[in-house]
Amino acid sequence: MIIAGGGVILSNASDELRELAEFTQIPVITTLMGIGSFPSVHPLSLGMPGMHGTYYANMAIQDSDLIVAVGMRFDDRVTGKISAFAPHATIVHIDIDPTSIRKNVHVDIPIVGDSKNVLTTLNQIVKAGQKKQWGEIRKAWLKQLDDWKQLRPMSYRYSDTVIKPQYVIEKLYEATGGDAIITTEVGQNQMWAAQFFKFDKPRTFLTSGGLGTMGYGFPAAIGAQVAYPDKTVIDIAGDGSIQMNIQELATAVIYELPVKVAILNNGYLGMVRQWQELFFKERYSHSHLNTVPDFVKVAEAYSAVGLRAESPSDVEPVIREALKTKKPVFMDFVIDWKEKVFPMVPAGAAIDQMMFDEEEPKKEEKKLKAVK
């Protein structure tokens, strides 16, 4: 496995990463901060690992015999229970910061250096060696990964009556064709964006990681729009986190920045509620936002545009209207308040001990529905 982190993006090493992966046919996992460093739609891409990572990424880590970690730091959201992390793997860790190597997990081969420089040299060494049929060598391994993808794909329970947040993310991707800069706040909105929007280029996903901060996404979107005035910039936010810096709507209006904000409005601090429900016997302490403002009226009060979607049929028209509007727009998506982020690795568990939404239709039922 290759696990690529934010260091690949910071060192502009995405091309070198892809060159190595394609030449050797090694599958690639991208951490939250590494999203965009390797194309999400690439056949060798396994998505994000860890607490809310894909089933197949986590299973691959646990079954791998070699992990090449590039520009990532093995934080606890990736590793889960450290003593159970990658039990069969020899670990190569490439990082520019020597203090990040062996800080959290045992590393067999430490390489201190800039990701771009190291990957460039590694590509030269690999290509100078004996020519191998890497695809044939990896055949059984890639087949196993494909089986895991088929067994537990990224999915959710679609509803005709209530808006599912994952559906909103999918429709944002379809409407933009993926040609957008996406920022996020912190919480469920952040994880759903990472799971269901497909990022194929570096620096198109702006999110706060280890020191995750509610309120990050909106100012980040404003900054991105200033830097790229002709780009579509969308902040995917929660109804709690958008209120942390909601006053910056004035900045967007004053400078005529057509930033779009997709508010996944569930009336809760959603990730806090999820933990309270799953691990604290539904003791909903201070997570119910029963005084959420009318975001459409707030937008209009700032001379911006406010739009609302209350049913699945509203989602696409609202997105289309927002994208053609040359002003800042708040899109208020009233989503299913009960929806959780899955898969989920509970705190203290190994990353292959994932929780799933078992109310999802079984694979056979989904196939049957598709045929119908």
- The Cα 239–Cα 350 span in angstroms is 31
Q: Are 192 and 274 in contact (CB under 8 A)?
A: no
Contact 299, 328 (CB under 8 A): yes
- The SS3 call for residue 248 is helix
User: According to the model, what pLDDT value does residue 359 have?
Assistant: 53
CB proximity list for 78: less than 8 A, separation 6 or greater = 3, 31, 49, 50, 51, 53, 72, 351
CA distance 354 to 165: 21
- Per-residue confidence (pLDDT) for residue 168, from 0 to 100: 98
Q: What is the mean pLDDT of each run of 10 residues along the chain (372 residues)?
A: 98 98 97 98 98 98 98 96 97 96 95 98 91 88 97 95 98 98 97 98 94 94 98 98 97 98 96 95 92 96 98 98 98 97 96 84 43 32
Phi, psi of 307 (to 5 degrees): -130, 150
> How far is residue 88's CA from residue 36's CA, in Å, rounded to a whole number?
28
Taken in order of first residue, the domains within the chain and their CATH numbers are 2-151 (3.40.50.1220), 165-334 (3.40.50.970)
- Structural element, H or E, at residue 272: helix 270-279
pTM: 0.94
- Taking a C-beta distance cutoff of 8 angstroms, is the pair 68, 90 a contact? no
